[in-house]
Amino acid sequence: FALAAASQPNAVTDEQFAQLQQHWSDSEITEILGVVAMFAFLNRWNDTMATPLEASPAAVATQALGAQGWTAGKHG
């Protein structure tokens, strides 16, 4: 559900909603979608604006992923 809603909102299916409703209320599902939508917005905003990473997250990412070729790129 979260992946579908974040990448292509029309990709969310009735079956996904039915699965969510087995565990959460409609209000809770709305909250989940709100968080997904907020982070989708922030990801698009930060990528478009090339928002620089803060020192601490950049250091953690470099330590954890630097050996695999990760760099901050335009966010450095």
Using DSSP's 3-state secondary structure scheme, residue 23 falls into: coil
Indicate whether 9 pLDDT > 80. Answer: no
pLDDT, tens digit, 9 for 90 and up, residues 13-71: 999 999 999 999 999 999 999 999 999 999 999 999 999 999 999 999 999 999 999 99
Structure tokens given for 12 = 């969310």
* Integer-rounded Cα radius of gyration of the chain: 17
User: How far apart, in whole angstroms, are the C-alpha atoms of residue 22 and residue 18?
Assistant: 7
Task: Enter the DSSP assignment of 13.
Answer: -
Structure tokens given for 24 = 């959460």
Instruction: Check: pTM over 0.85? Answer yes or no.
Output: no
pLDDT at position 8 is 85
